[in-house]
Chains A and B, each alone.
Chain A
C-alpha cells in the first residue's frame, strides 16, 4: 500500500499548479467526450445508410 502523505496547506504556487492541472485534464476529457459523441453520430449515420441500401 502507498504511504498516506502528510497533509499541509498548499502554497499559492502549488495551488495554482493544481488548478492548472485540473483545468488541463477537464479540457482533454471534454475534447475526448465530444469526439466520441461525433464518432458515434458518424457511425450511426453510416450504419443507417448501409441498412437502407441493403433493404432497397
Chain B
C-alpha cells in the first residue's frame, strides 16, 4: 500500500517523476544497443525513419519500465535501492503510472508500425509484453531463474534495430539477442550478490537468496564461459570482420577473468564485495564497447579497411 501523504497527493505529479518512471538510466543502454544494431545491419534507412525507430524502441522500453514500477510499487517500497522511486515515494498515484505505461507502449508500437513496418512493431510489442508481463508479473516473484529469462527483455533492442533496417529476421540479429541474453545473468547476479539483503527483505527469489552464494558464483562463471565463444560467433559465421572478432575475444576474456575471480571466492562477513562490484561495473563497459566495435567493424568493412 502506498503510504498516505495528503500534501504530496494534492499536488499534480511533477513531469520529472513521469520521466523517472521510464528508467532513463536503463534507457541509455537500450538506445545505444538499438542504435548499434541499426548501424551494423546491412542496408540503409532514411535518417528520419532511423530516428523514429530508435525513439519508438526507447519509448516502448520506457512504457514497459513504467508498467513494471506500477506492478512492483509494494516491492520497491521495501528495497533501499528503489524506495525513492515516484510510486513508493508517494509522489504519484498508482493509476497514473499504469496509464502512462500503457500510453507509452501503445504510442510506440503504433508509430513503429506506421513508420517502419508491422514486423518490427510486432517484435517491439512482444518485447514490452515480455518485460511487463512475462518477467515482472509472472517470473520474477516465482523463480530464481527470473533474471535468465527476463534478460530476454533487455536483449530485444539490437534485434529490433537490425530488423528495422533489413525488414526480416536473420541469424545475426538473433546472435546479438543471444549475446545480451547470456550477458544479463552474470551482470545482474554480480549486483544481486552485493545487494542480496534488499531482495530477501522484499521476498524476491533472487539466485543468491534462494540457491545461495556458492551456486550463484558458479553460475556467473558458467555464463561468462559461454559468453566468450558466443560473442565471437558473429565473426565465426562471417557476419563481421576480424576487428569485431578480436575485440570480442579480448573483452570477453577479461569478462571471464573477472568472473573467475568472483566464481572461485566466498565472501566473508564485512566483506567489501570488491570483485563483484568490479565485475558489475565492467559488465556495463563490456556491453557498450562490444556493440560499439560491431559498428566500427561494419564501417571498417564499408570503407575497405578490412576484408
Contact = CB atoms under 8 A, between A and B. Distances in A.
Q: Is the pairing of A and B real?
A: yes
Given A43-B49, A46-B46, A5 B2 contact: no
A17 B11 contact: yes
A39 interface: yes
A28 B13 CA distance: 13
Interface string A25-50: 10011000000000100110111001
B10 A5 contact: yes
Contact of A50 (B5, B46, B55): B46
Contacts of A10: 10
Interface in B35-65: 46, 48-49, 52, 55
B12 A43 contact: no
Contact of B12 (A1, A2, A21, A46): A21
A2 B2 contact: yes
**Chain B: interface size category:** 20 to 34
Given A2-B2, A2-B93, A50-B46, A18 B52 contact: no
Contacts of B11: 17-18, 21
A18 B14 CA distance: 10
B15 A24 contact: yes
Given A39-B111, A43-B48, 17 more contacts: A2-B1, A2-B4, A3-B4, A5-B7, A5-B10, A6-B6, A14-B10, A18-B10, A18-B12, A22-B12, A25-B12, A25-B15, A39-B55, A43-B49, A46-B48, A47-B115, A50-B46
12 contacts: A2-B4, A5-B4, A6-B6, A17-B11, A18-B12, A25-B14, A29-B15, A43-B48, A43-B114, A45-B48, A46-B48, A47-B115
